[in-house]
Chain A
Amino acid sequence: MALSAVDVVNQACNLIGDDIPPVTGVAPTFDSSTAGKAAAQLYGLCVNAVGRQFGWDFARNQVLLTASGNAGPFPMGYTGEYLYPSNGVQVWQLYGDLTANDAINNPAPANWTVGNALVSAAQKKVIWTSVTAPRALYNNAPTESTWDPLFQMAVVRLLASAMAMAIAGKPDVAESMLQSGAAFESLGESRQD
């Protein structure tokens, strides 16, 4: 059976102990139990936090960036302004058309800067770059069913650490889970694939 958010939350609860009743429902709200309410607050944050710690292969996705629609000039001399991918945890690399200008064999560094700008009167996270028609390779926060087991272990432990304080007031468990979560995250960084 494919892994789901509620499975991850319950794995975290198991690590805390105290026979916490299983959480039900679906992310991001889960159920109205104490653990469910805590998970609703903490789950997405923990997933994204671990996601940003390393360029996890399973999380890699490509998107053609959308222009913000603002008129230049843009900061730092960049010629374009693009919306940060709405589901983006972290942008890893920008590149233009790889079929042009010998881009495959003559790769050129692409420069970009992340910032914020007013887009249609709302403050939005944007990417400034001079790359033409930029594509981004980024962490698109894929569903739990695609997770690497080491990423899962790191998320479960970080979530257990946060929930141990939130619902059980166990600083020792929180500390322990934080350390072991970091260990799994570190293991994940030594990917061999």
Chain B
Amino acid sequence: MATVITTPADVVNLALASIGHKDRIGSIYEGSFAAKQALDIYSQTRDEMMRTVDYGFSERNVTLTLLKQAPAGGYFPPNAWDGTLNPPPPWVFSYAYPSDTLKVRSIKGIPLFVQNFDPQPNVFAVENDQYYTPARKVILCNVASAMLVYTAQVTDPTTWEADFTEAFAAELGRRLAPTLANMDAAKFAAAAAAQATANAERTEG
């Protein structure tokens, strides 16, 4: 079904309406006071809201790029651990953190057969590897040729579920209310945002 919310300005206008702000914006870049306030918080709020629930629309699967690997035989002499070549023990593999990742959901191996009747969880960790310049975010795990299931930074409002859009707009309203409305509106917006987020979590579309 085609959505009527197609641009960031549409989302901001939902938020402005929810706090009783009398104006609307035409573009988030238009320079009006409301647009300037919204521009400052829009993308950060969206990313934070997208992290809170494992929405289907924001799930992506990708084969990870290997950066470092532990020696096949372990760190027996003369194989000393070298941070420039090896992941921190006890991890076996270090993979690049995809740039559009907001949250790692799980790590899985690429199965030989497409029906796996005994799926196993894989432990992983996200770390900041200071052996790179500049330091970079990496994913550590013990799965070879690992595949990442993650929450991606999905920016196109036309691909969002309606309940996420509602929750996001409510949260934007909560953050904008103290500046653009008043504290009464801010309190109401906070309650509305919590309700909208709870609805979205229940649906988890």
The chain A residues found within 8 Å of chain B, CB to CB, are 55, 60, 92-93, 95, 98, 102, 104-110, 137-138, 190-192
A106, B159: Cα distance in complex, Å: 14
Top-3 shortest CB links A-B:
A92-B31, A93-B31, A105-B155
Residue of A55, A107, A138, A190 near B39 (CB, 8 A) is: A107
Q: Is A192 a contact of B28 with CB atoms below 8 Å?
A: no
Provide the main secondary structure of the chain A interface.
Answer: loop
A108, B32: Cα distance in complex, Å: 16
Taking each of B29, B155, B156, which has the highest tally of chain A beta carbons within 10 Å of its own beta carbon?
A: B29
The chain B residues found within 8 Å of chain A, CB to CB, are 7-8, 22-23, 28-33, 35-36, 39-40, 42-43, 153, 155-157
Residue of B8, B31, B33, B156 near A107 (CB, 8 A) is: B8
Q: Is B7 a contact of A104 with CB atoms below 8 Å?
A: yes
Residues on the A chain within 8 Å of B7, using CB: 104-105
Q: Is A60 a contact of B30 with CB atoms below 8 Å?
A: yes
Q: How far is the CB of A140 from chain B (nearest CB, A)?
A: 12
Given A106-B153, A190-B23, list of 16 further CB < 8 A pairs?
Answer: A55-B31, A55-B32, A92-B30, A93-B30, A93-B31, A93-B35, A93-B39, A98-B29, A102-B155, A104-B7, A104-B8, A105-B155, A107-B8, A107-B39, A107-B43, A192-B23
Q: Is A107 a contact of B157 with CB atoms below 8 Å?
A: no
A174, B102: Cα distance in complex, Å: 59
Q: Is B23 a contact of A191 with CB atoms below 8 Å?
A: yes
Residues on the A chain within 8 Å of B36, using CB: 92-93
Q: Is A92 a contact of B39 with CB atoms below 8 Å?
A: no
A137, B22: Cα distance in complex, Å: 22
| 8 CB < 8 A contacts A-B | A55-B31, A60-B30, A93-B30, A93-B36, A98-B29, A104-B7, A104-B8, A105-B8
Q: Is A93 a contact of B29 with CB atoms below 8 Å?
A: yes
Residues on the B chain within 8 Å of A108, using CB: 43
Nearest A-chain residue to B28, judged by Cβ: A107
Residues on the A chain within 8 Å of B39, using CB: 93, 107, 109-110
A55, B157: Cα distance in complex, Å: 28
Residue of A102, A105, A106, A137 near B31 (CB, 8 A) is: A137
Residue of A60, A106, A190 near B155 (CB, 8 A) is: A106
Residues on the B chain within 8 Å of A98, using CB: 29
Q: How far is the CB of A87 from chain B (nearest CB, A)?
A: 16
Q: Is A109 a contact of B23 with CB atoms below 8 Å?
A: no
Q: Is B22 a contact of A107 with CB atoms below 8 Å?
A: no
A95, B107: Cα distance in complex, Å: 38
Nearest B-chain residue to A137, judged by Cβ: B31
Q: Is A137 a contact of B155 with CB atoms below 8 Å?
A: no
Nearest A-chain residue to B42, judged by Cβ: A107
A55, B23: Cα distance in complex, Å: 12
